[in-house]
Amino acid sequence: MNINIFEMPDLPLPLTKELVTILIENKNIRIERIISAGQVSDWYDQTQTEFVVLLDGNAVIEFENGRNAAMSKGDALLIDPHERHRVSFTSVHPLCVWLCIFW
């Protein structure tokens, strides 16, 4: 498989919801590219570990324990299983481009 993580043909702008593309998935791992533009999320309580990299844009991930992770282009974060969190901000200009790896 040969992909360009930044290639976004026919991107429907403005985005009314996040655009999630599963790049690789098997029983052990899932790798997603997510495009956000101003969206926020509900609380997540995931059973998997998540490694997230913000490839472009600015975002804030809020944790239930009160910690906030302000993220800029190039920042990465490891989220443990059942570490409740939500995305409380995503920039519109530039769009947020996320690479998320779940295992």
- Asked whether residue 5 is domain-assigned, the answer is no
- Asked whether residue 3 is domain-assigned, the answer is no
- Considering its fold, how many domains does the chain have in total? 1
- Asked whether residue 13 is domain-assigned, the answer is no
Q: Which pLDDT band holds residue 6 (cuts at 50, 70, 90)?
A: confident
- Asked whether residue 28 is domain-assigned, the answer is yes
Domain with 67, as residue range(s), is 19-102
Cβ atoms within 10 Å of 18's Cβ, excluding its own: 17
pLDDT tens readout for residues 54-91: 999 999 999 999 999 999 999 999 999 999 999 999 99
Average predicted confidence (pLDDT) for the chain: 93
Q: What percent of the chain has pLDDT over 70?
A: 97
Identify the CATH number of the domain in which residue 38 sits.
Answer: 2.60.120.10
pTM greater than 0.75 (yes/no):
yes
Question: Cα separation of 74 and 53, whole Å?
Answer: 7
